[in-house]
Every structure is written in C-alpha cells, then in structure tokens.
Homo-oligomer: A and B are copies of this chain.
Amino acid sequence: MEVITGGVAAAKGFEAAGYEAGIKYENRKDMALVYSQSPCVAAGVFTSNVAKAAPVRWDKNVVTNSPYAQAVIVNTGIANAGTGTAGYNCCRQTAECVAEGLGIPLDSVLVASTGVIGMQIPMDKITAGIGNLIRIKTAGEQAGTTAATAIMTTDTVPKEAAVRLEIGGKTVTVGGMCKGSGMIHPNMSTMLGFITTDLAISKALLQEALSMDVQDTFNMVSIDGDTSTNDTLVVLANGMAGNEEIINKDDNYYKFLEALHYVNETLAKKMAGDGEGATALFEAKVMNAASKAEAKLLSKSVICSSLTKAAIFGHDANWGRILCALGNAGVSFDPDIIDIYFEGESGRIQICKEGVAADYSEEEAMKILSDPEVRVLVDMKMGDAQACAWGCDLTYDYVKINADYRS
C-alpha cells in the first residue's frame, strides 16, 4: 500500500471542483462538487443527532434506496438544519439542479451542508454555484485539494488522504477529504467526509466496511463533545479499477479494508489536530484493558475532558485530571494499579505508577507536552485490549471562535 496525493480526486474516473459562491463568507471558496464519470455504489454513515439536517435526511434516503450515486454537492456557511420543510425543499432543488446539469438521475445526487444552524439557504447563489462547478470540474490532484479547501469552515488546513494498492491484479486507489472543526463529536460518522475509490465492490460490503471502520476512526474523535446535526461520511466506489467485483469477505476485501482504514484514520487525526483553536493533537491510547469496548470508553473519556484538554494547552502534566476522566468513563477498574505515561516527539515519561505520582521531572514533562502531537498512554493491567482516541487541547481561541461564530 502506497500513500499518494490527490485526495478525493485521486481514484480513477473521479473529478472535483471548488467555487466561491458567496453564500455567507467573503473571499473564499464555499461550494464543492465531487463527480464520478460512471455510477458508483455508495455507502454512508450519518449523525445520531435527533435534529438531523435536511441534507442528512436526503442522503440517508439516497444511500439506502438508490442503487447508485454519482455526485456529491457541498456548501459551507449554512448548515440547512433547523430549517423545516422550506429547508428540505432547498435541499431537493439543489439535487435537482445538479442532476439536470450533469445529466444523471436525481436519486444519484448526494447533498451536504455545513455552517450556521437555523438559516435558510440562498437558492440563487447555490444554483449559480452549481452551474460554475459543473463547468470547471476536472480530474487530478489539484482538483482534490481545491474541493477539500472549499468545504472548510473554521478549519485552518484542508484535510486529504489517499493510498494506492493492488487488488486482484489491478491498481486500486482510495482517497478522501473531510472537514471539521467545531461541533465535532462524531457519533456514527463525522462532520463531513467523502471517500472515493475506483474499486469494484458490492454495495452491501462497501456499507459494512464503512460502518465497521468508522467505529475505530471518526467515531473516536472529539473536539468539543457536540455531535453535529450534519455529520455525514460517504464513500463512493465506481469500479473503474477493473478488478473483479468484491462480493465476499475474501483477501481482497480485507486489503481494501486496510486501505480504507488508513484513509479514515489519517483524516480523523487531521481533523482532531485542527480542532477549533487547537495548538496540539491530543491522543489517548489505552492499553491492556479488559475489552475493546472498555478501552474505547476509557480513551474517549480522556480526550473529552475539558479539564484535561485545558491542562494540555497549559503544558501542565496534571495527570490527576486524566485519572479523574478515566474514573468517569463508566468502566469498572482498580485505580491503584494503573500506570500513565506522556509521549511526544521529545520523548516518553511515566507520570503515574500504580495509581500514585511517579518520580518524574516536571521540566521533561513540560517539554513533551509542548510537542505538536501529545499522546497519553494508559496501562490498565486488566487484559490485552487497546484503543486510541483523538482530540485536541482547549484554548482561548476555541472560546473566541465560538463566542462570536455567527457574526
């Protein structure tokens, strides 16, 4: 498996584009299109939030009931959530405009929106944007990056990943893009993520692969504990790699799963590290837990703790807050046997030994905690299960960004 560039437009037959439609922000691209030259089987996972945005309801229907999907249209600035029937009609009109422009069936168009909740979409700008996106869409590395840039809101960098591997004697590519970076606590999915591949695979297996892998990747990320109304992660597979279609869980399926996992995990970590206001990616790895489920609860509890996140921002080795967060995970364990370590590119240090403070240098700890990627390792000494969760520090800028996001 080779890591390559190109993101969502890396796989054969996929084209992409980004465009400045002037929906809400000024001087930045705010619409993106992903298009496949041939119909794709599609799989998707969506937010568990009861107040689902209009495009989430639209996409769930397409992914569930439609045999193929062929295009994804995305706008930023307005989330089209909390918009009632009028909002759903806007979403349908958006899909109609794309279907007509591309000459593809209405039920093969996926729609995604992100931004402020409770405002209506300006349809004139959306329609004009779609016309331009269809005109300028193109294949190639640059197109993927342009699309990844166009779906950003408070993100500071575009987030892409892609790999190439051989399956059944054919070269297969899996690529994707996603965006954060607030209201991020994916539950069944992430804010917005789009994966493309030229693999030939059955729709059922594609959905199964996605649903399974998301549990260990996007669903292990939290920026601020708020599961968005708009979480959407879809994968499109157009079969243009020419491999024999994967219809069983054979070796080829697991090869693809490995590639999908790499792309999902890479995107998930990029999203966590670029959380609103973040200065560091904060990873919690729990080892030797009694079960995988418990390891996940424990690691996620640590990266969700506001107090721990603030301590990471302050480069403060306040491991008591980590112990506190572990204790709140809803998992039974003996606090008096666990070990805790901090790890970064500057080194590794044990800060807690058998439940009490280890003999460590505060200076060395401070150095590790100043690294751009900080990892806490927790040894539960209960079994052999492990899990990772990804978040970021809690900073002044997170508060600043969210105290006046609408204005």
Contact = CB atoms under 8 A, between A and B. Distances in A.
A165 interface: no
A66 interface: no
Contacts of A374: none
A325 B79 contact: no
Given A86-B356, A400-B396, A118 B320 contact: yes
Contacts of A355: 82, 84
Number of copies: 2
Max chain B C-beta neighbours (<10 A), residue from A307, A314, A319, A335: A307
Nearest to A325: B226
Nearest to A332: B50
A354 interface: yes
B321 A51 contact: no
B84 A225 contact: no
Contact of A321 (B226, B326, B356): B226
Interface string A241-277: 0000000000000000000000000000000000000
B398 A310 contact: yes
A227 B323 CA distance: 11
A331 interface: yes
B320 A399 contact: no
Interface in A347-376: 352, 354-357
What are the 10 closest A-B residue pairs judged by CB atoms, nearest first?
A117-B320, A314-B403, A51-B327, A310-B402, A49-B327, A118-B320, A51-B335, A50-B327, A224-B306, A84-B356
9 contacts: A50-B332, A50-B335, A82-B356, A84-B336, A117-B319, A117-B320, A229-B327, A318-B405, A395-B399
